[in-house]
Structure 1
Amino acid sequence: MSSRNNNNHWTGGNRIELLENGEQFFPRVFDAIRKARREVIAETFILFEDKVGLQLHAAMREAAQRGVKIDLMIDGFGSPDLSREFIEGLTSAGVKVRVFDPGQRFMGQRLNVFRRMHRKIVVVDGERAFVGGINYSADHLLDFGPKAKQDYAVELAGPIVGEIHQFVLRAIALGGKGASWFRRRLKLAPPVNQVRAGEADAMFVTRDNRRHTNDIERQYRAAIRAARKRIVIANAYFFPGYLLIKELRRAARRGVDVRLVLQGEPDMPIVKTAASMLYHHLLHAGVRIYEYCDRPLHGKVALMDDRWSTVGSSNLDPLSLSLNLEANVIVRDAAFNQVLWERMDRLMQHSCKQVEAADLASEWSGWRLVRSFFVFHILRWYPALLGRLPRHAPRLTPAEATDLASRRGSGRSDPAGGATRTEAA
């Protein structure tokens, strides 16, 4: 059971803008870094040494060279193959590059593949923040081709940014070598932005493996229970626990228009296979399912009724709900909800195939019963079982102290073209 998350409260007076895909996200983030006056803190699961990664590299170097304090955290599993030249180009300019849980390797393979730092956060001067699901890789741009990912993030201004700022400072301190540095850092960087910037209420919700193990999932379930009109969930990796599935079925049966937007052209075939195992349960209860078919869906967004929305890094699968470190922003605002609804409606109308019960009728009914039995028990017990995996203390290691800067194997980055590795999120 999770203890109360101090961040699980509504903060008013915020301006929140939805950013779709790399075309909207990257220019906004890079411009904010270039205009930073004091400090940039960034966390990302994947950073590739492709055209997007090189743009981030250039923006951070430029800011650091004029005295901005920059701290970049990358995940040891998601970003393992950056070149020595790439890392030293940042550190020589004064950028602090830290690797979350670099891990041990055996025959070139990382052993601790679970409990990843999957968050995607940027905070600039304690006044602007970006939170979402978009990594720094060229496969988030449409010109990447058929495998370009569909994804979302938000830009935030207002009092909520102060909470996100304090969170990323704590993340640095708790992964480092003691709290004294953290206390000194807080004195230098108190919450900056307490000025109202808009009308939206916002809540910053995170998931970790100690105190806040199910906070994001609990917010989803509470919003589903409260929904009276509509629920739309667009999620790339969908295999949630039994309780969330039960709430979706109950909502549909009480007359709520429940829609799921899932992957129809997944980056990993097992993603669609896992989600499709739930289709009978959901369709039978009245849930409508849409498969996004233009290209891989990577988004993690949802809306309930006319005011509640969320955008973040958390998928609805075992990794995100039971193992990874995640961060979502929940928004209570009719205008933002309407913008997100229009984007989702456009996807469903023009880029999705709706799954009908007749599409599944060809499956042998006996096999469906057997499969349903096992799926039911997997959904019921997997959160508790995964929670028993070792909870190693996360470590933040300077990049130059790891083997990251000397390793370029596995075909995971391509400076000339783009990322070739998919995110197993």
Structure 2
Amino acid sequence: MRHNPALRDGHQIRLIEGGQDYFEALVAALNQARSHVLLETYIFDLHGAAVRVAEALERAALRGVRVWLVVDGVGTPQLPEVWRVRFALAGVDWRIYAPLGALGLLIPSRWRRLHRKLCVVDGQTAFCGGINILDDWYDPHHGSLARPRLDFAVSAQGELVGHIQDSMSQLWWRLQGAKNARERKIPQALHSFITAGLPLPWKPPLPLPDGSPPPSRAALLLRDNVLHRTQIERAYRKAIGLARHEVVIANAYFLPGRRLRQALVHAARRGVRVRLLLQGRYEYFMQYHAARPVYGTLLAAGVEIYEYDASFLHAKVAVVDPDNERPWATVGSSNLDPLSLLLAREANVVVADRQFAQQLHRRLIQVIASQSTPVLAAFGQRLWHQRLRDRLAFGLMRMALFLTGHRY
């Protein structure tokens, strides 16, 4: 496998905000596919604008492109019957990662989910971010939204496309091998597991046209339960530890462990301006309430916390020192909470490029200024029943981690 998390030169990285622009870019790439398409997503909800992606996958398969789709068994327990038929007729191959089965999430090992949102087209272009295949104006649990959710992704060309493709290809063949083994097709299962180590074809990107932005240094960061258990968290801690001026983090489900909290506290105490843009609207009991007991420590150290309340926040991005000599930015699928950092398969792209970092920084500061509410020091004086719910959720999260054998 080609993957090396070291930053490398020669990438074209473009920031994408929101599902509408993401789907437009994704469909355009799928319409140009000639060889193969790999797509992974936690949620594939065939409602509204997301249908365009399914239709593009179908068209690609019908013209002979090899199309592999993987969805998560919690985020997408099943595809609608009409689309199962359409994909079968077109030749789209799809798999569900870790279906829940009868006992569902009562089995702790099933909390290990596929949470990455990745796509590779022809080994030339890749997409990575936090955006599911889900209409921005719709939520499966809350219905129509008054404003679109806030989320980001990137499109990429360059060496990391091969790294993303290798990771996706390995997962596909392991899923295929497990499927064959369950069906007692032992020779086919062995072939699939052997094939998992063989990369799909990857080609360097074509020369850039005149007037293109200068290439960026970038890398792929993964989190899984084998070789890359702490890669994303360590990258965050290192970037925060090296910060000299500013850290801005936007994260949907925020419950950092002790070492990451310490990194934020130490940065703020040495004079770095640290701003957190977090979920301000109630979505899930655990994620909403369990985060709040850590606010006090961060606020006391001088960390600024803002809650996004215009719609649902789904972003998982960060920027460090965008205007200085060592800019750092990341866009991906990983929340800064135990589900992402200890259990799920995640993928982030890191970019060390001033122009990219400044672009993401400007957008986050706009959102903080116009669409969020500051969390003040008086937060700790909230009503007793609010604090009780927070402590209950925090305790339940700690208990859940104990059941999985993790300390956080």
Could you tell me which of 79, 100, 120 is aligned with 1:103? 100
**Corresponding residue for residue 184 of structure 2:** none
Q: How many corresponding residue pairs?
A: 377
Counterpart contact for 2:40–2:117, Cα < 8 Å: yes
1:304 partnered with 2:320: yes
**Corresponding residue for residue 153 of structure 1:** 153
Q: What CA distance in whole angstroms lies between the structure 2 residues aligned with 1:7 and 1:383?
A: 32
Relative to 1, partners in 2 of residues 1:196 and 1:116: Cα closer, same or farther, differing over 3 Å? farther
Q: What CA distance in whole angstroms lies between the structure 1 residues aligned with 2:11 and 2:400?
A: 34
Q: C-alpha displacement at 1:57, in angstroms?
A: 1.8
1:131 partnered with 2:128: yes
Counterpart contact for 2:3–2:163, Cα < 8 Å: no
**Corresponding residue for residue 211 of structure 2:** none
Q: TM-score, normalised by structure 2?
A: 0.85
Q: C-alpha displacement at 1:169, in angstroms?
A: 1.0
Q: C-alpha displacement at 1:77, in angstroms?
A: 1.2
**Corresponding residue for residue 236 of structure 2:** 220
**Corresponding residue for residue 169 of structure 1:** 169
Q: What CA distance in whole angstroms lies between the structure 2 residues aligned with 1:41 and 1:94?
A: 13
Q: C-alpha displacement at 1:193, in angstroms?
A: 2.2
Q: C-alpha displacement at 1:299, in angstroms?
A: 0.5
**Corresponding residue for residue 111 of structure 2:** 114
**Corresponding residue for residue 4 of structure 2:** 7
Q: 23-32 vs 245-254, which deviates more?
A: 23-32
**Corresponding residue for residue 35 of structure 1:** 32
Could you tell me which of 352, 373, 392 is aligned with 1:353? 373
Q: C-alpha displacement at 1:94, in angstroms?
A: 0.8
Q: What CA distance in whole angstroms lies between the structure 1 residues aligned with 2:190 and 2:135?
A: 37
Relative to 1, partners in 2 of residues 1:13 and 1:47: Cα closer, same or farther, differing over 3 Å? same
Counterpart contact for 1:147–1:267, Cα < 8 Å: no
Q: C-alpha displacement at 1:271, in angstroms?
A: 2.7
Q: What CA distance in whole angstroms lies between the structure 2 residues aligned with 1:323 and 1:20?
A: 27
Q: Deviations over 1:279-312 (max 9, x none)?
A: 1100100100011110110100001112100010
Q: What CA distance in whole angstroms lies between the structure 1 residues aligned with 2:19 and 2:277?
A: 20
Q: Aligned partner of 2:153: which letter?
A: A
Runs of 4+ aligned residues of structure 1 deviating over 6 Å after TM superposition are 185-188, 381-384
Q: Aligned partner of 1:146: which letter?
A: A
Q: What CA distance in whole angstroms lies between the structure 1 residues aligned with 2:199 and 2:259?
A: 43
SS at match of 1:175: helix
Q: What CA distance in whole angstroms lies between the structure 2 residues aligned with 1:170 and 1:185?
A: 5
Counterparts in 2 of 1:255-270, with a 5 A limit? 255-270=271-286
Q: C-alpha displacement at 1:105, in angstroms?
A: 1.7
Counterpart contact for 1:231–1:256, Cα < 8 Å: yes
SS at match of 2:90: coil
Counterparts in 2 of 1:56-67, with a 5 A limit? 56-67=53-64
Q: C-alpha displacement at 1:81, in angstroms?
A: 3.5
SS at match of 2:329: strand
**Corresponding residue for residue 405 of structure 2:** 388
Q: C-alpha displacement at 1:52, in angstroms?
A: 3.2
Q: C-alpha displacement at 1:111, in angstroms?
A: 4.5
1:24 partnered with 2:41: no
**Corresponding residue for residue 361 of structure 2:** 341
Q: What CA distance in whole angstroms lies between the structure 2 residues aligned with 1:345 and 1:196?
A: 34
Counterpart contact for 1:140–1:151, Cα < 8 Å: no
Q: C-alpha displacement at 1:7, in angstroms?
A: 2.7
Relative to 1, partners in 2 of residues 1:273 and 1:378: Cα closer, same or farther, differing over 3 Å? closer
Q: What CA distance in whole angstroms lies between the structure 2 residues aligned with 1:386 and 1:195?
A: 49
Could you tell me which of 288, 298, 318 is aligned with 1:272? 288
Q: What CA distance in whole angstroms lies between the structure 2 residues aligned with 1:169 and 1:255?
A: 44
Q: What CA distance in whole angstroms lies between the structure 2 residues aligned with 1:236 and 1:42?
A: 23
Counterpart contact for 2:221–2:348, Cα < 8 Å: yes
Counterpart contact for 1:48–1:136, Cα < 8 Å: yes
Identity level (%): 38
Q: Aligned partner of 1:278: which letter?
A: V
Q: Deviations over 1:198-218 (max 9, x none)?
A: 521111011111221111111
1:207 partnered with 2:223: yes
Counterpart contact for 1:105–1:111, Cα < 8 Å: no
Counterpart contact for 2:304–2:375, Cα < 8 Å: yes
Counterpart contact for 1:87–1:97, Cα < 8 Å: no
Q: Deviations over 1:317-337 (max 9, x none)?
A: 111011111111111100000
**Corresponding residue for residue 333 of structure 2:** 313
Counterpart contact for 2:330–2:349, Cα < 8 Å: yes
Relative to 1, partners in 2 of residues 1:322 and 1:272: Cα closer, same or farther, differing over 3 Å? same
**Corresponding residue for residue 418 of structure 1:** none
Q: Which residues of structure 1 form unaligned runs of 5+?
A: 390-425
Could you tell me which of 186, 189, 193 is aligned with 2:200? 189
Q: C-alpha displacement at 1:132, in angstroms?
A: 0.6
Q: What CA distance in whole angstroms lies between the structure 2 residues aligned with 1:6 and 1:385?
A: 32
Q: Aligned partner of 2:346: which letter?
A: E
SS at match of 1:191: coil
Q: C-alpha displacement at 1:274, in angstroms?
A: 1.8
Q: Aligned partner of 2:252: which letter?
A: A
Q: C-alpha displacement at 1:154, in angstroms?
A: 0.6
Q: TM-score, normalised by structure 1?
A: 0.81
Q: C-alpha displacement at 1:182, in angstroms?
A: 6.4
